[in-house]
Structure 1
Amino acid sequence: MCDDSIEVINKMLDEIAKANRYDECQIKIKSVSSGGANYTSYLHHVTISAPGKDDLKLFVKLAALGEKIRSAASFIIFEIEDFFYKKLLKTYEAIEERNMVSSEHRLVTPKFYASNDKYCKEVLILEDMTSKGYQAFNRFESIDWKYASKSIQNLAKLHALSIAWSIDDPKDFENNKSLEFNAYISIRLDLLKNSIKNTIEVTRPENKEKIEKFCKEMTEYDVFRGFLNPIRRPVIVHGDYRPSNLLHRKLDNGEYDVVSVDYQTLFKSNPMFDLMYFIFTGSDKNFRKNYFKRTVEHYYKELRAALERLNLAPDDIYPREDFEYELEKMMPFGLLISTFALPIITVQEEDAPKVTKDIDLNDFMALPSSLYKERINDIIDDYIDMGLL
């Protein structure tokens, strides 16, 4: 972290301390490692202490990507996440308040404190959820049913709120340029094609021809774009809804409390994008064998419940036939996104791409781990068994 970035963060923290009346305060900043789970940000835990006050625990994200990678597409690192906390979340909270949604059914997010949008020095400062007992999921493990069910419940709340917004203010929903993804489709497609080379390399010989044919068909521009766009029911998707981007704490009754974080990749798409993404990047073969259908059904059940809490009629807004139609259309996406996301999710920390200002797009290609080889071949087998490959 360079000196001018430290200066930016220190100034922001001083302003937060002043706004929260932390007089004569001490500010401690501790850099933390993501353990190979984050490639776009430098991460820091911050403690602001003052006499007679409880410590204020904050989480700071500082943009780590420099000009080299941004030359491919000029963008502000936390632009979407900033939009989420400053505008969209307030819209969602107003919808929940107007419909008198009980606290247990409301979307929970970290508290937003401040942001800086200066190019290449972007900063986002949020509540440190680990101070409340939340922790990150072990990305090398498979989800279980208890964890999956609560994660899906959280996802349903997120989707239902975006549907409510689209009905409350269709013009703003349709015309919001911050949530359009088309500008980055070509970049995503190029990255995907690069990752597919590793997938083919580790695929068992008897399945190589099948996976090559599948990937060639699925990475045609119009086909790939179809997975990203709305189909019948447009929603604002998380865009990277995997266990690594969720925080959880275990309650006294053994259940999980799950909170989604990292809203950097929100965009307008279809509900199945997040659902397929979550299942195939977070589960192993055993989970899918026992819980795939149950997880899919649980999502639809929870989405209907979330819509009803917002005084919306699920059968009119997202009838069962639309859900099943979108599920069928998006099933190939589970395998396709696995070829891109799983190498990053399963990479060992020592082999993970190093976060530096000089990193470029090609540096995001993680070397296939033994766990990746196992996971991707199991998914390929599942798709063969389902008759989709």
Structure 2
Amino acid sequence: MSDVDTEAVLREVLDKIAKEQNYKNPNVSVRTITTDGANYSSVLYVATISAKNKDDLELFAKVANMGDAARSQFHVPVFDLERFAYIHLLPAYAKIQDNYKLTAVNKLLWPKFYGYNPNLYEETIVLENLAVEGYVTYDRLKSIDWAYASKAVESLAKFHALSIAYGVEDPEEYEKLLEKFKYNAEAIANMSILLEKSVEMGITVTKEENKDRLSKYIEQQGNFKDMAKYFQPTGLVLLTHGDYRPSNLMHKTKEDGSIEVIPVDFQTIVANSPVVDLFYFIFIGSDEQFRREHYEQLIEYYYQELTRALRNLNLNVDKYYTRENYNEDLEKFIPFGLFISLFLLPVITVEAENAPSLQGEDGFNTIVTTKTSNLYPERVNGIVNDYIRWGIL
């Protein structure tokens, strides 16, 4: 991979957007922004396109910043997936929502899409800048609270309901998408050493009295080497988000005090069980105290909101995902919560100055060589405590 001038790449896309939006003799300003360690695959920018007698066009952009090593290890075309989401999938969802005349409160929201560059190493997505409208990203070093988590789960349920509705309205096309977006098992196989090292890191920081329990459970699960099974569900399969965590969502507090949550990152869409998205959000974003107080409540709330979102689309949840099936999936996929925590918490909780880069020759291996924060052992031990309390470990 040769060095890419990401700003120059972006400016080419912005010039095209300015022309498409009829901004004559535009002034285009660009500046980089940081997510303080929350983003690893892209360089992020905000941009403003100005022209006489036109409102300023406030934009947000991502330009690929992933090296060859990381690309070859992951085997997931994250930039192609996001482009597909904004060009094809989300417009299809918008049409479904419009057909059913959903009110604003019942619609899934996402940022307006303006343009892209599909070229290898120059992959770019340009969206509206939601920050101008008062949206912010949740602090990844803080545990989610109920007010935020409940609204995030509402949005997740709407996303899943639209996936089901898509399958009802165009079953042939939907089956093709489910086949196309099956998880690439090779992506996990190529990261087996990384997974093993992540597990070792987790065991190392686990309290002495619980190390043996954790080690035995991991051994019982095949040392998490067969994690592909959690991406090959046998129950309800739909198009899931794949990386549903606070860093990939934006939210704002409205005048009435309620919170509105919008997913903004669609780089990891995958055919999977909806429970995987739900567990991912809970275990990556919360601490032990939140789960003690709200875990069961949030599990119940998701199903309630999925039921409501499907009803708004004139669909009956019992036809597609009975409560019994949901409970079976909750039990089946509970090991995934521990697995994804051990794998991702080192980077989710990393201090900004120690955040890994995916540009270098080590690729994703930088995850296990990154200096972890003091929050990391706290989160790991909280999850171990949960699994012991639930009778799993």
Question: What TM bracket, shorter-length normalisation?
Answer: over 0.9
2:389 is equivalent to residue 385 of structure 1: yes
Maintained 8 Å contact 1:65/1:358: no
Matched, 1:363 2:357: no
- Counterpart Cα distance in 1 of 2:78 and 2:323: 37
Q: Deviations over 1:89-126 (max 9, x none)?
A: 11111211222222221110011111111111111111
SS of 1:78's partner is helix
Moved more, 3-12 or 36-45: 3-12
Counterpart contact for 1:76–1:122, Cα < 8 Å: no
Instruction: Give the C-alpha shift of residue 77 in structure 1.
Output: 4.0
Return the match for 2:377 from 350, 355, 373: 373
Which residue type is aligned with residue 361 of structure 1? F
1:311 equivalent among 300, 309, 314? 314
Structure 2 residue identity aligned to 1:113: Y
User: For the Cα contact (< 8 Å) 1:136–1:244, is it kept in 2?
Assistant: yes
Aligned residue type for 2:160: H
SS at match of 2:190: helix
**C-alpha distance in structure 2 between counterparts of 1:193 and 1:171, whole Å:** 39
Residue 181 of structure 1: aligned partner:
183
Aligned to 2:10: 9
The aligned runs of 1:132-281 (5 Å cut-off) are 132-176=133-177, 177-183=179-185, 184-219=187-222, 223-281=226-284
Determine the structure 2 residue equivalent to 1:31: 32
Structure 1, residues 300-338: CA drift from partner, whole Å, max 9, x if none? Answer: 000000001111111111111111111111112111111
Corresponding position of 1:92: 93
In the alignment, the residues of structure 1 paired with residue 226 and residue 249 of structure 2 have an alpha-carbon distance, to the nearest angstrom, of: 29
- Asked whether the 8 Å contact 2:195–2:224 carries over to 1, the reply is no
The runs of 5 or more residues in structure 2 that have no matched partner are: none
Is the contact made by 2:155 and 2:262 (CA closer than 8 Å) also made in structure 1? yes
Over the aligned positions, Cα root-mean-square deviation in angstroms equals: 1.9
Tell me how far apart the structure 2 counterparts of residues 45 and 117 of structure 1 sit (CA, whole Å).
19
Q: How does 1:71-110 map to 2 (within 5 A)?
A: 71-72=72-73, 76-110=77-111
Measured after TM superposition, the shift of residue 264 of structure 1 is 0.3
Amino acid of the structure 2 residue aligned with 1:383: Y
**Aligned residue number for residue 126 of structure 2:** 125
User: What are the within-5 Å matches in structure 2 for residues 269-308 of structure 1?
Assistant: 269-308=272-311
Query: Structure 2 length normalisation: TM-score?
Result: 0.94
What amino acid is the match of 2:388?
A: I
Deviation larger for 191-200 or 304-313: 191-200
Partner SS state of residue 135, structure 1: coil
- Shift of the alpha carbon at 1:168? 2.1
1:211 positional shift: 1.3
Q: Is the 8 A contact 1:193 1:219 kept in 2?
A: no
1:69: Cα distance to partner?
2.6
Structure 2: distance between partners of 1:227 and 1:293: 21
Structure 1 residue 229, shift from structure 2 partner: 2.0
Unmatched tracts of structure 1, length 5 or more: none
Distance 1:170 1:3, change over 3 A: closer
Partners of 2:96 and 2:175 lie apart in 1 by: 18
Q: What CA deviation, in whole Å up to 9, does each residue of 1:19-67 have, x standing for no partner?
A: 1111121111101112011111011111111122221111111111122
The amino acid across from 1:217 in the alignment is Q
Kept after mapping to 1: 8 A contact 2:70/2:362: yes
Specify the code of the residue in structure 1 equivalent to 2:364. L
Q: Cα 1:142–1:32, aligned 2, differ >3 Å: closer, same or farther?
A: same
CA distance in 1, matches of 2:174, 2:181: 9
**C-alpha distance in 2, partners of 1:72/1:222?**
16
Paired positions, count:
389
> How far has the Cα of 1:225 moved from its partner?
2.1
| SS of residue in 2 equivalent to 1:125 | strand
TM-score (norm. length: structure 1): 0.95
SS of residue paired to 2:289: helix
Instruction: Supply the distance in 1 between the matched residues of 2:192 and 2:163 (Cα, whole angstroms).
Output: 26
Give secondary structure in 2 for the equivalent of 1:44.
Answer: strand
Would the alpha carbon gap of residues 139 and 150 (structure 1) be closer, same or farther in structure 2, given more than 3 Å must change? same
State the distance in 1 between where 2:74 and 2:31 align.
Answer: 31
How many angstroms apart in 2 are the aligned matches of 1:191 and 1:72? Answer: 10
Partners of 1:41 and 1:355 within 8 A in 2? no
Could you say what secondary structure the match of 1:134 adopts?
coil
- What is the aligned counterpart of 1:352 among 351, 355, 366? 355
User: 1:248-296: CA deviations, max 9, x gaps?
Assistant: 1011222111001111011000011011111111111111111111000
Tell me the CA shift for residue 219 of structure 1. 4.7
**1:75–1:337 CA distance, 2 compared to 1 (3 A):** closer
Residue 380 of structure 1 aligns with an amino acid whose one-letter code is: V
> Cα distance 1:72–1:332, how it changes in 2: closer, same or farther (>3 A)?
closer
* Structure-2 change in CA distance of 1:243 and 1:74 (3 Å): closer
- 2:261 is paired with a residue whose SS is strand
Q: 1:279/1:287 Cα in 2 relative to 1: closer, same or farther (>3 Å)?
A: same
